[in-house]
Chain A
Amino acid sequence: MNHEVLPYRATRDFLSGALPFLRAGVRGGETVLAATGPGNLSLLRDGLGGDAAGVDFVEATEFYQHPARTLAKCVKAADELARRGQRLRLLGEPIWCERSPLEVAEWQRAEAIVNIAFAGTGASILCPYDLTLPLPILDGARRTHPRTVFGANGGYVDPWSYLSAFDHRPLPPAPESAESLRVDMADLFWLRAFVAEYGRGAGLGDTQIQGLLMSVTEVATNALRHGTPPVVLRLWTEPGDLICEVNDGGQWSPQPGVGSVPPETGAPGRFGLWAVRLLCSIVQVRTGSAGTTIRMRLPAAVV
């Protein structure tokens, strides 16, 4: 597995890194995917000439919709190829502008997770970063890619430590106005009735509500099982989002990045918190002196 960053300022730099990467894949008979903005896509098509036929070009807006789902899809593809003795080659330029700080953080986490999730698949991933991007984003790229196109990257940080640092950033407190409910029974029937009603009020669709109920049930069950009472559920809305968090008094989630990595496929195993990440748009896990909090967000239509 290879995960390289391609820092570029000029088109020339972008192409001189991207074209040889894609060509090598096409000529080596690999499954080659390029996901970037429309401008760069057309530069790549033109630059590749006849080799363009061997590349699957995808608009970044379509490819980078949801960090966990994008990861899941790519890792699954890479796994399936690896099982057939083949390899995935991906040029991926995430969207950084127009993202909220929360979304940026999720995509930065995804860059770190790539190093864990694709290990053993033989996949080759090249991530172009425009050097005019804000410094924190470039800094993230430096920490999450073991290599640059020029060679080893001294700034690379172990992905688990990187995730751990993220998962220790304090969360803003829930607003005073949040709906709050004590969870003290293993039977979560009434909790779900309450959450479903709130979700409908916030304009969630049926599938979103189903996903929210599964997420809340999973997280509350974990808190009841492994946490320390009191377990409290809070619900509130922010513009465009429904937020649901479960807090308990324990520190039962010591592993950084828990549930962040797609589980092994093919055999049924534990996938609870990973599935929660697929079902919600953003999931934040925090453990500390204030206990353990899992905060889940879903896009809400009416707020």
Chain B
Amino acid sequence: MDSWFARRPVRDMRPGEHAGLAYATREERDHIVGAFVRYGLSAAHKVIYVSDAQAGELPGLDDIDPLPYLENGRLRLLGSARACLTGGVFDPDRLYGTLSSEITRAQAEGHRDIRVTLDSSWVLEQPGGFDRLLACERMFGEAFTPSTTVMAVCQIDAAACSREQLQALGEVHKVVAVPDPQFEDPVLRITPTFQPCGLLLDGEIDASRHAIFTEALWSVAQDEREVHLDLAQLRFIDLGGLRMLAEFAVGRAERGPLVLDHVPSQLRNVMEIVGWHLLPGLRLGEVA
């Protein structure tokens, strides 16, 4: 989705936000939706989850066992047939009705924070599915946005949509759900990226954050593809940090290259002066 929509790390979502998540990979979806659901369960919110998965199969919940939450009603898991199908066909009014009554019920139970999520990629496979989905999203938009209790993440497989469809879906969502940083302090923020697989580095890296940086690199080391680091917002990296990048690149050379995207020009110049032969294995990707 395009960048003029507010990008909201999932932990920062607030009631009244109706977020779109056009995911590029399953890992991205599981990472973001998992966090959205986890936060809700651990903060005693009500979570309404439209999915045909079994509770035990819900992605990204890490060490949270959903079963006790199902039993005490904090987690409502609604199968798609019951939630939104009429005669096997996706029915926007039915979904809207289902969610409205679930929300009303949750409010009646005294819940002041209600989280809703569903993956509607399968709707696109039905004839006329996209138009009905869009109609449904518009209804949600009108219903959720003024709400002081409800927040939603609407998931869609980006690869199943055309550019125009993504654009249209983007317009009915006020915000875009993005991954939380895996590390953040006032000087450095590290956020996972999924397409391409890698990390987004924002801030400054020096010896005081080498251990954190190594840990972050390890979190993507096992991936069998290219690993990309987006350095557009990296304002400083020390020589030790550059050496760690080179060591990392050489260490995983057999799996795939380490690509540095959006390297700020002054950093690129400095790397040029230090000499690429001292920084083996690093490849420059997209230019800043």
Q: Looking at chain B's contact residues, is the secondary structure mostly helix, strand, loop, or mixed?
A: helix
Q: Which residue of A lies closest to B277 (CB)?
A: A265
8 Å CB contacts to B: which residues of A218-258? 218, 221, 225
Flag if B239 contacts A214 (CB, 8 Å).
yes
Flag if B280 contacts A266 (CB, 8 Å).
yes
| A201-221 Cβ-contact flags toward B at 8 Å (1 or 0) | 000001101110110011001
Stretch with Cβ within 8 A of B (4 or more), from A14-22, A123-131, A157-165, A270-278: A270-278
Beyond A217-B238, A267-B250, A279-B273, whether A189 also contacts B266 by CB under 8 A is: no
Q: Looking at chain A's contact residues, is the secondary structure mostly helix, strand, loop, or mixed?
A: helix
Hey, which chain A residues are within 8 Å of B273, CB to CB?
69, 211, 278-279
Hey, which chain A residues are within 8 Å of B240, CB to CB?
218, 221, 272
Number of interface residues, chain B, beta carbon within 8 A: 26
Flag if B204 contacts A192 (CB, 8 Å).
yes
Hey, which chain A residues are within 8 Å of B270, CB to CB?
207, 210-211, 214, 279
Hey, which chain B residues are within 8 Å of A185, CB to CB?
208
**Which of A185, A189, A267, A268 has the most CB atoms of chain B within a 10 A radius of its CB?**
A268
Kindly state the separation between the CA atoms of A173 and B273 in the bound complex, as whole angstroms.
30
- Is B89 on the interface with A (CB-CB < 8 A)? no
Interface size class, chain A: 20 to 34
Kindly state the separation between the CA atoms of A207 and B272 in the bound complex, as whole angstroms.
11
8 Å CB contacts to A: which residues of B247-279? 247, 250, 265-267, 269-270, 273-275, 277-279
CB distance from B113 to the nearest CB of A (A): 36
Q: Which residue of A lies closest to B204 (CB)?
A: A189
CB distance from B263 to the nearest CB of A (A): 11
- Is B207 on the interface with A (CB-CB < 8 A)? yes
Hey, which chain B residues are within 8 Å of A225, CB to CB?
207
- Provide 12 A-B residue pairs closer than 8 Å at the C-beta atoms, listed in order of the A residue: A69-B273, A186-B208, A187-B206, A188-B206, A192-B204, A207-B265, A210-B267, A265-B277, A268-B246, A268-B280, A269-B243, A270-B243
